[in-house]
């Protein structure tokens, strides 16, 4: 996460994530699922621009943008700017916690695909907590930000301290940063349709379980020992395939395009391959586009 002042505005570039490993341990009494997951932060960013307002009202405008440094005035029609938006929920939670009444104008510039399992909404929510804590000079500690983040969603805590990679446990709120030995070039392919996270979790069966534990997986990841067959583990991949022919066909296209590890991120629908070099990744992306997959891009892990 990159945070800086630009005139009267505070700008936050907040990254996407990909899940290299996701194991579900069971359903909890509170309705959430206990899990172990390995997340990596990747070089694809949403941008939030915060400006203080003279009123005590909050206004959120959502824009679509393809370039990191270009501000788009084009509205993002598919993204609600009302109370269901995680940015609005984060802002309201911060007000409730602190009693702060100053209004704010927020511009959200979207690049991270929606309903893709890449953490875009969670990342935006965390950026709102971090950004407004600084803009409003609230002085909240990292511990407090983690407590607030856990109230917003399972992936939000991952972004609070912006680790390059981490093991996340519990329902995702317990974050243990890890170090990877090198940058991982990845090809991401997003199907045309999205999936509802609750629907995917409801389809999950306890019989779908990775045989390797998360610590063993991280050890192999750090030593570069991941193979084509077992390089990416995701317990939600099978239920997502049941729910979406688009996910099934995108994964099949990726596996035809490369012999590198291929899998799905989070609850879907983004599918990805982990390559050895950026040149190799660009070649895989070119083959995917040639196969008719329209939304394909290359990103690097932030290692």
Annotated active-site positions, please? 17, 155
Q: How far apart are CA 296 and CA 285, in angstroms?
A: 6
Q: What share of the chain is helix, strand, coil (3-state, %, to 5)?
A: 30, 30, 40
Q: How many CA atoms lie within 13 A of 272 on its CB side?
A: 31
Q: How many CB atoms lie within 10 A of CB 66?
A: 9
With H, G, I as helix, E, B as strand and everything else as coil, classify residue 246.
helix
Query: What distance in Å separates the CA atoms of residue 10 and residue 51, rounded to the nearest whole number?
Result: 7
Rounded Cα distance, 152 and 295, in Å: 29
Distance CA 31, CA 51 (A): 37
Q: How far apart are the first and last CA of the chain?
A: 13
Q: How many CA atoms lie within 13 A of 211 on its CB side?
A: 3
CB 70 within 8 A of CB 133: no
Provide the residue count of the chain.
303
Q: Which residues contact 70 (CB under 8 A, 6 or more apart)?
A: none
Q: Are the beta carbons of 53 and 100 closer than 8 angstroms?
A: no
Phi (first) and psi of residue 246, to 5 degrees: -65, -40
């Amino acid at each position: 996460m990159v945070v800086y002042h630009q005139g009267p505005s505070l700008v936050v570039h907040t990254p996407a994530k990909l899940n290299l490993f996701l194991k579900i341990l069971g359903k909890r009494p509170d309705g959430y699922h206990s899990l172990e997951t390995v997340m990596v932060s990747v070089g694809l960013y949403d941008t939030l621009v915060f400006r203080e307002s003279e009123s005590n009202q909050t206004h959120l405008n959502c824009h679509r943008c393809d370039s990191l440094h270009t501000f788009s005035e084009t509205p993002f029609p598919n993204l609600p700017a009302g109370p269901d938006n995680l940015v609005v929920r984060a802002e309201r939670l911060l007000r409730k916690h602190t009693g702060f009444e100053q209004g704010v104008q927020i511009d959200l510039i979207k690049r991270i695909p929606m309903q893709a399992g890449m953490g875009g909404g969670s990342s935006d929510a965390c950026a709102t907590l971090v950004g407004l804590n600084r803009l409003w000079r609230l002085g909240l500690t990292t511990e407090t930000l983690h407590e607030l983040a856990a109230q917003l969603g399972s992936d939000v805590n991952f972004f609070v301290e912006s680790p390059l990679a981490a093991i996340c446990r519990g329902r995702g709120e317990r974050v243990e940063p890890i170090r990877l030995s090198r940058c991982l070039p990845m090809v991401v392919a997003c199907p045309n349709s999205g999936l509802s996270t609750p629907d995917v979790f409801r389809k999950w069966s306890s019989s779908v379980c990775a045989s390797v534990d998360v610590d063993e997986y991280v050890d192999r990841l750090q030593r570069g020992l991941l193979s084509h067959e077992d390089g990416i583990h995701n317990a939600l991949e099978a239920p997502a395939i049941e729910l979406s022919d688009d996910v099934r066909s995108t994964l099949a296209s990726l596996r035809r395009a490369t012999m590198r590890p291929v899998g799905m991120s989070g609850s879907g629908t983004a599918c990805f391959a982990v390559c050895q070099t950026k040149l190799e990744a660009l070649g895989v992306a070119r083959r995917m586009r040639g196969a008719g997959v329209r939304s394909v891009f290359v990103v690097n892990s932030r290692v």
